[in-house]
A = this chain, B = another copy of it.
């Protein structure tokens, strides 16, 4: 039992942090640092790293609000394509191709990427962006607009089958789990960034002759956010070790709630400036809202936790 990052993992986080601080075009930097290769097996040009390294990376990516189909490219697809033995695609991912994966019903839309995949029940196919299929909903638009201006969403049309059968189903479950874990870490990183920014704001800004951060109401809200984040983080680390549905979903539920709570605190304590696009808080506010329903809702994940706890299959959806 040693429940802490290794010195190497802590150093990896610091390296990523420093690199992301100093670039406006993060993806090439991430490719250079080997982030897309993390979960790709060594024999396909990857680093064969642990899910815990993925969690470390995703926290930093969330901290810097890096856009893109991150959970897909860094988590779901490496494991899916490994399980389904797609060496060429893995090599492509390892070298930095961004790819997006749709998995109805929980992940019905893709983010803009260079490659698209579609996984339904037990068939994995390549795919291509398509107008919205259902004619009686909102007018079809591609891309669809998200609350997060960095997210452009697409419906996909399946094209060429890559794999079929029960093996796909099992691989899909593992891929969904890993994408969920990645999203949890990304949410925590985004939330920590909002808390840090708000603490800095509260120290600098004065009102009624005092720094805002000396007001008890401000202090106590920030303390509550800090506690929520501190307690959610170990769940994410443990889930990276066990990868059970129970632990992954528990981590994701706690991370998403802590992030939403931190977002509200951050906006409230900033006041009007936090409500603008030009102030950096908005990057995380909108990202966190979008991630809140990405890779399964809170309802879905709470249902998975309860199903595991009661060892039966009761869930609503």
Contact = CB atoms under 8 A, between A and B. Distances in A.
A157 B172 CA distance: 59
Interface string A257-275: 0000000000000000000
Interface extent on A, as a size class?
Answer: under 10
Contacts of A215: 216
A314 to B, nearest CB: 14
A217 B216 CA distance: 6
How many chain copies does the complex carry? Answer: 2
Interface string A194-222: 00000000000000000000011100100
A220 B219 CA distance: 13
Interface string A218-234: 00100000000000000
Contacts of A216: 215-217
Nearest to A219: B217
A125 B15 CA distance: 79
A137 to B, nearest CB: 23
Contacts of A220: 217
5 contacts: A215-B216, A216-B216, A216-B217, A217-B217, A217-B220
Interface of A: 215-217, 220
